[in-house]
């Protein structure tokens, strides 16, 4: 697979240049002067509990019913979550993996091309 083939895949371009937006419903709390996520508030989590993650039991991020939510530590959440994709070698040349299934050389090349495309738009 060449760098151009990877660039032509729609998802790869955005994976390297844009972060996924946090689309959880939230509201502004004037008293605390900060944004409060509805699903965290339903569980009674405060800014002191920022090390806890809210897990949706049915994996539906839009289902914020109290029966579907549970507060977990990052370690607990990692154990029950989907296993991370592990790469050992670059998809293009077979060299040592760096990021996104590529070696450092091909990742940086892909990132530069993706950034140039973004600038040209």
Give exposure, 89-101, as e/b (b: 16+ Cβ within 10 Å).
Answer: ebbbeeeebeebb
Whether residue 96 sits in one domain with residue 62: no
Q: For the chain, what percent of residues have pLDDT higher than 90?
A: 27
Rounded to whole angstroms, the Cα distance separating 11 from 119 reads: 18
| Domain that residue 9 falls in | 1-19+84-121
Give how many domains the chain has, as a whole number: 2
> Shortest CA distance to 55 belongs to which of 41, 36, 40?
40
Together in a domain, 89 and 105? yes
Render pLDDT for 6-30 as a digit per residue (tens, 0 to 9).
656 544 444 444 455 677 889 999 9
Q: What number is the average pLDDT over the span 19-48?
A: 85
């Amino acid at each position: 697979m060449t760098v151009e083939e990877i660039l032509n895949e729609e998802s790869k371009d955005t994976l390297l240049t844009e972060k996924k937006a946090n689309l959880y419903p939230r509201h502004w709390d004037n008293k605390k002067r900060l944004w409060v996520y509805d699903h965290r508030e339903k569980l009674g989590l405060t800014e002191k509990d920022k090390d806890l993650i809210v897990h949706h039991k049915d994996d539906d991020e839009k289902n914020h019913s109290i029966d579907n939510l549970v507060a977990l530590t990052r370690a607990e959440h990692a154990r029950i979550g989907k296993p991370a994709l592990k790469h050992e070698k670059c998809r293009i040349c077979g060299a040592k993996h760096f990021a996104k299934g590529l070696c450092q050389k091909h990742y940086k090349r892909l990132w530069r091309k993706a950034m140039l495309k973004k600038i040209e738009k």
